Structures are given as C-alpha cells and as structure tokens.
Amino acid sequence: DTGVSQDPRHKITKRGQNVTFRCDPISEHNRLYWYRQTLGQGPEFLTYFQNEAQLEKSRLLSDRFSAERPKGSFSTLEIQRTEQGDSAMYLCASQGDATSGFFGPGTRLTVL
C-alpha cells in the first residue's frame, strides 16, 4: 500500500497527558500537511511542511502543539498537556508538485 498512513488510528488519553501521532506520507511527496477535524466541520489546517521545513502554522496550533518532519520523510505531531478540547480527528495529507492532496485515515484522539 503506497498511500498515506497514520499511527495510531485511535488514541484515548487522560487530560494532562502528552500524545504523539505519526504520519508516513507517500514517498515521493515533498509537501506534508496536518489537519484537525471535529464533528460537523471540515478539516482545519494546522501546519505544513515542504520537505523538512515547517513553512506555515495555523493560529489553531497553540504552544502545546509541535510538529516535526526530520529528513523530510515521516512527520510527528505532539500534543502536550492534552485538554478535552483537543479531542478530534487528526488528519495528515501529502502532496507532490503537480498532484492533489492525499489524506491518511486519520488518528482519532479522545481526551477524557
């Protein structure tokens, strides 16, 4: 399967804990995006990488959120001191130079 993969698919955590999600993009894609989707809403942009460089961050991405893409391959999204409002589906998408964005299956986070 050469699509975008995300791990884990589901994460349940207690408020105040740290969580980390991983995204493996399509290998030849140089752009990688993180989005968050809550019930009844469309995906909301969080951050964007061009290779290993993080080029843009949304206002939604508070100081508790950090994303990395070492070596321009896989990416991680970490949320520190989780809050109940962080409960959402976290989506990763990758894009090549002349292609549309391809999304992974998402990681559903539940903060108790």
| Residues 19, 112 contacting (CB under 8 angstroms) | no
Q: Does 70 bind another protein (CB under 8 A)?
A: no
The tokens 């893409």 sit on which residue? 69
Least separation in angstroms between residue 87's CB and another protein is: 15
Residues 86-105 that bind another protein (CB under 8 A): 91, 93, 100-105
20 and 84 in contact (C-beta within 8 Å)? no
Question: Would you count residue 55 as binding another protein (CB under 8 A)?
Answer: yes
Q: Given CA atoms 82, 62, 10, 41 in this order, what sign does their dihedral have? A: positive
Nearest approach, Cβ of 35 to another protein (angstroms)? 8
* Among residues 14, 27, 40, 53, the one that binds another protein under rule CB under 8 A: 40
H-run or E-run covering 34 = strand 31-37
Q: Which residues bind another protein (CB under 8 A)?
A: 4, 6, 33, 35, 40-45, 48, 55-56, 91, 93, 100-106, 108
